[in-house]
């Protein structure tokens, strides 16, 4: 049976306020509602591997006690981080942080990792996807134009690949495009199928 039909038995909840994640879930044909706490503690142990960090923060979002969780609920949560070597770049708090982040990404390859957590009353699945993005050299004017016009303060790494900077300044990517947007859709579909088989036989 088609996964979307199997998911009809669940109250599917997206534990994220990201409009990109909502857009991607809708494009997958999944019916869901959004219930997300904007004040989740996203701190982490810096000794952990970046993929583990992303998964743990996604799990924090899924376990948040402000979500009205019922026996038929299925929660989808995700967290995306951007890394250059061993440095993690999260969401910038202001123009200055966004400018410094994009300057650090300029002319380099960086890693985008999204951790996903799927939670039901019976099961919990954690997994992650990694993509690699290579930026062309960015001028200060390019960076300033992008920040001033697109305000990327809700985006890990201070950019959205689906926006102006993605069209003009990304030389190549290796891996899942949608992961870079914030939700690895093929991986999510695979793991939703797995949890459906586990619970429905």
- Known active-site residue 11: no
In sequence order, what are the residues at sequence separation of 6 or more whose Cβ sits closer than 8 angstroms to the Cβ of residue 125?
Answer: 116, 117, 118, 119, 191, 194, 195
| 37 CB burial (10 A radius; 0-12, 13-18, 19+) | middle
| Residue 201's pLDDT band (cuts 50, 70, 90) | low
Separation of alpha carbons 92 and 79, rounded Å: 15
* Structural tokens at position 90: 């999260």
pLDDT value at residue 99: 98
Q: Residue 71 gets which letter from DSSP?
A: T
pTM of the model: 0.93
Per annotation, catalytic residue among 11, 64, 79, 86? 79
Give the number of other Cβ atoms within 10 Å of residue 179's Cβ. Answer: 26
Number of domains in the chain: 1
Domain that holds residue 122: 3-200
pLDDT exceeds 60 at position 1: no
Which of 168 and 69 is assigned the larger pLDDT?
A: 168
**Backbone dihedral angles phi then psi of residue 171, each to the nearest 5 degrees:** -80, -40
List b or e across 7-28, with b for residues whose CB sees 16 or more CB atoms inside 10 angstroms.
Answer: beebbbbbbbebebbeebbeeb
- CATH code for the domain of 134: 3.90.950.10
């Amino acid at each position: 049976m088609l996964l979307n039909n199997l998911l009809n038995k669940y109250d599917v909840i997206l534990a994220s306020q990201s409009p990109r994640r909502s857009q991607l879930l809708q494009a997958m044909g999944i019916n869901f509602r959004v219930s997300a706490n904007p004040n989740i503690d996203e701190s982490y142990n810096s000794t952990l591997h970046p993929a583990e960090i992303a998964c743990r923060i996604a799990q924090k979002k899924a376990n948040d006690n402000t979500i009205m969780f019922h026996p038929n609920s299925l929660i989808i949560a995700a967290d995306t981080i951007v890394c250059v070597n061993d440095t993690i770049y999260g969401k910038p708090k202001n123009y200055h942080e966004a400018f410094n982040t994009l300057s650090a990404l300029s002319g380099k390859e960086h890693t985008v990792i999204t951790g996903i957590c799927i939670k039901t009353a019976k099961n919990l699945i954690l997994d992650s996807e990694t993509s690699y993005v290579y930026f062309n050299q960015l001028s200060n004017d390019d960076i300033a134009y992008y920040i001033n016009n697109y305000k990327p303060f809700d985006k890990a790494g201070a950019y959205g690949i689906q926006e102006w900077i993605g069209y003009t300044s990304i030389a190549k990517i290796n891996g899942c495009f949608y992961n870079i947007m914030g939700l690895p859709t093929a991986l999510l579909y695979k793991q939703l199928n797995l949890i459906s088989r586990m619970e429905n036989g």
